[in-house]
Amino acid sequence: MEYNDDLLRYATEHSNRIEGEAITGPSFENHLRATLLVRRAAEVNQLLHPRVLHQLLFEGLPINSTMRPRTLIVPGEYRRRGVKVYVVQQDGREHYFPDSELVPGLMNS
């Protein structure tokens, strides 16, 4: 599958809708830029550290601008509230990602 800019924009809009985020404005532009940078890094077999991505997501935004309920945003910290994240695979099966409380341990390992 080719991950062109249009597909990544669509995926970013969908992701922002799931999170209750706007699909225009500075927050969306940060999310889209991070998405495009991940693709570019992958093209040369490089990974961007999650803390780098988190910094990109919140760059230039006032603190607490996007989280609901309002909580302190600290770039590089992992989400503490439970959100079920999944994707629907081509065969129709749902793939669920780890619960938020498991993420710090998984990132360390």
Residues 40 and 1 in one domain: yes
Q: For the chain, how many structural domains are there in total? A: 2
Residues 46 and 65 in one domain: yes
Residues 34 and 5 in one domain: yes
HEC profile of the chain: CCCCHHHHHHHHHHHHHHHCCCCCCHHHHHHHHHHHHHHHHHHCCCCCCHHHHHHHHHCCCCCCCCCCCCCCCCCCCCCCCCCCCEEECCCCCEEECCCHHHHHHHHHC
Residue 83 or residue 6, greater confidence: 6
Look up the domain containing 34 and give its range. 1-73
Residues 84 and 63 in one domain: no
Q: What is the mean pLDDT of residues 16-22?
A: 78
Q: What is the mean pLDDT of residues 11-32?
A: 84
pLDDT tens track for 72-100: 556 666 666 666 666 666 677 787 777 77
